[in-house]
Amino acid sequence: MIPRTYLSAAETAELTGISVSKLAKDRMSGKGLPYVAVSRRCVRYARADIDAFMRARRVACDFHERASRSTAPTAAEKDAN
């Protein structure tokens, strides 16, 4: 399968979890994802823009860091108290 460079609003909605109507509202207000207006009724979203949009909204979680710590305080934590 050849990877698609441009996706429809429905495909973009499926990929991002943003509804088609929200994508349309964002286009009208000049917010949200950049898009290509192919015609008055046809828009496409560049896959690279979608990927960048999702990366920019990534939230790092310190779950693994917290899970790897023991419940007992470290020597530094004991000294601080």
* 65 belongs to a structural domain: yes
CA pair distance 44, 25, nearest whole angstrom: 15
* 1 belongs to a structural domain: no
Query: What pLDDT is recorded for position 77?
Result: 65
Q: Which helix (H) or strand (E) holds 39?
A: strand 36-39
Query: What pLDDT is recorded for position 9?
Result: 96
Give me the number of domains the chain comprises: 1
Domain range for 42? 6-70
Element counts in the chain: helices (H) and strands (E):
5, 3
* 80 belongs to a structural domain: no
pTM of the model: 0.70
Mean pLDDT by 10 residues, the chain (81 residues): 84 96 97 95 96 93 65 64 61
* Tokens found for residue 43: 């828009």
* 21 belongs to a structural domain: yes
* 33 belongs to a structural domain: yes
